[in-house]
Amino acid sequence: MRSIFFPLLVLVSLFAQGQSAEIVSGPMLGHTEFRTAKVWVEYRENTKDVQLQFFEEGKSAVRRSARAVTGVNPYFNVVHYELTGLMPGTAYRYELVGRDKRVLHRGSVKTQELWQWRKPAPDFTFLAGSCSYFNEPPFDRPGRPYGGDSTIFLTMSKEPAAFMLWLGDNWYTREVDYYSAWGMHKRASTDRQLAVLQPFWSAMPHYAIWDDHDFGWNDADKSYPFKEASRAAFNSFWQNPSSGMNGQGIYTKFTWNDVDVFLLDDRWYRSNDGMKDSVNGQPNPEKEMFGAEQLSWLKNALLQSQSNGNISFRIIATGSQMLNPRSPFDCFRRFPKEYNELMDFLQENRISGVVFMTGDRHHSEIIKVDRPGMYPLFDITSSPLTSGTHKFSGPEKDNPFRVVGVDQLQNYARVRFTGKGADRTMNVEFVGVKGELINSWKVSRRELQSR
């Protein structure tokens, strides 16, 4: 045990020494587009009036102050900053400046490039992963620690990636967390401030969805009594473009170059997994994962995306697997009313370029499901980052729908988009704790076109 964890403690100590005393965690980069960027910070309780000043790289004499939104968390001193009036494809430097004019932190951010109608889409890379558990012995279950090697985040922080996509179970609530609103916020704050994570927060923008363990307890559904508090915690600790509609859920969408990413909420509207899939031989109309309002939003968003000729790929991200016919767990196929509705919609409207990305399973894999008269659908599952791993077994041991599989290993996904036109390619690599390549797969835009 000492050989594994002692070096990690040394690394954590070194990073902690470089952190300003006023800053608990962050800064973390949030949603970044052409002319605005978001930055998240949690400060010590009595730290007030910290300005974020920013300037174009190389032009430090011309400074502006970001808009600061305080009071966004009822328990912790979280501040959301928004940098506005930026120029596309431009690098900016920022400084967090305290009341006494001391610089508490220096960082950088680069806006997206305005390439549309001007040139081919730029190549880019993003990272993805799910299931990050950080050991806290007083509140963990007895026995072998469930959390693994957290230095995977140091490896990820060194990646030249455009952004990170968190695919749920981004932190793990315990019994001491999920029975109170304070507990939900406390778990997020506790995990967010770990020193081993700090370089990663500022290395690239971060986008997130949730799954059961960061929404509530295991297999949590719409009956979870603190769902409102959980949504408040999520919106306080992440800075996605938006969060659901009409104050419900956390679903949203963002675009990076020629890729639309649809962030779905598989918990807010979800029926309990134990509800019967079918009644009298027909799909149970009461069993829902996404809910009517969210599914309606997704359909309209996909149609809008389909009409945008600049979009090559449409990634639909959610916590639970979507396609796996052999999954014994909470796959979307176990919600046949909505599953059939979405599959029919994609087919009838001939939506091109759709790829699913999911988490949850404690193994990584790519599931392929063929469709008559249409291109096949793929579900890319990336898991786990640090939590316990899973071994392929039972009905999934030799899953004929699996085209790539990684089990019993911590890993993250590196997703690269390269090439032009119909030859534009999505390359997926599963990467280990030290940055080693474990497995890879790719698909071209041409292969995902409606026939």
Q: Is the pLDDT of residue 22 over 60?
A: yes
Q: Which helix (H) or strand (E) holds 427?
A: strand 425-431
331 or 20: whose pLDDT is higher? 331
Average pLDDT over residues 68-86: 98
CATH number of 22-110: 2.60.40.380
Q: Is the pLDDT of residue 3 over 90?
A: no
Tell me the pLDDT of the chain averaged across its residues.
95
Residues of the chain with pLDDT > 70, as a percent, come to 96
Q: Listing from the earlier edge strand, what are the strands of the sheet with 67-69?
A: 23-32, 37-43, 77-83, 67-69
Average pLDDT over residues 196-207: 98
Q: Which of the four pLDDT bands, split at 50, 70 and 90, describes residue 18? A: low
Q: Is the pLDDT of residue 5 over 70?
A: no
pLDDT of residue 451: 72
- In terms of phi and psi (left: phi > 0; alpha: psi -120 to 50; beta: otherwise), the region of 326 is alpha
pLDDT of residue 9: 41
Q: Which helix (H) or strand (E) holds 104?
A: strand 103-110
Q: What's the pLDDT tens digit per position in 125-178?
A: 999 999 999 999 999 999 999 999 999 999 999 999 999 999 999 999 999 999
The residues, ordered by sequence, that sit 6+ positions from 102 with a Cβ below 8 Å of its Cβ are none
Residues 31, 34: Cα–Cα separation, whole Å: 10
| Domain 124-448 superfamily per CATH | Alkaline phosphatase D (PhoD) (3.60.21.70)
**Same CATH topology for 22-110 and 124-448?**
no
User: How many CA atoms, within 13 angstroms, populate the side-chain half-sphere of residue 385?
Assistant: 28
The encoded tokens of residue 24 equal 């608990």
Q: Which of the four pLDDT bands, split at 50, 70 and 90, describes residue 330? A: confident
Do 328 and 397 contact (CB within 8 A), yes or no?
A: no
What is the pTM (predicted TM-score) of this model? 0.95
Q: What CA–CA distances, in Å, run from 147 to 121, 327, 361, 439?
A: 39, 24, 15, 23
Q: What's the pLDDT tens digit per position in 272-307?
A: 999 999 999 999 999 999 999 999 999 999 999 999
Do 109 and 362 contact (CB within 8 A), yes or no?
A: no
Distance of CA 156 to the CA centre of its chain: 14
Residue 182, classified by CB atoms within 10 Å of its CB into exposed (0-12), middle (13-18) or buried (19+), is middle
Residues of the chain with pLDDT > 90, as a percent, come to 94
Do 96 and 104 contact (CB within 8 A), yes or no?
A: yes
DSSP 247-285: TB---EEEEETTEEEEE--SSTTPPPTTS-SEETTEE-T
pLDDT of residue 20: 85
For the chain, which residues make up each domain, given as ranges? 22-110, 124-448
3 state DSSP class of 320: coil
Average pLDDT over residues 100-118: 97
Q: Which of the four pLDDT bands, split at 50, 70 and 90, describes residue 229? A: very high
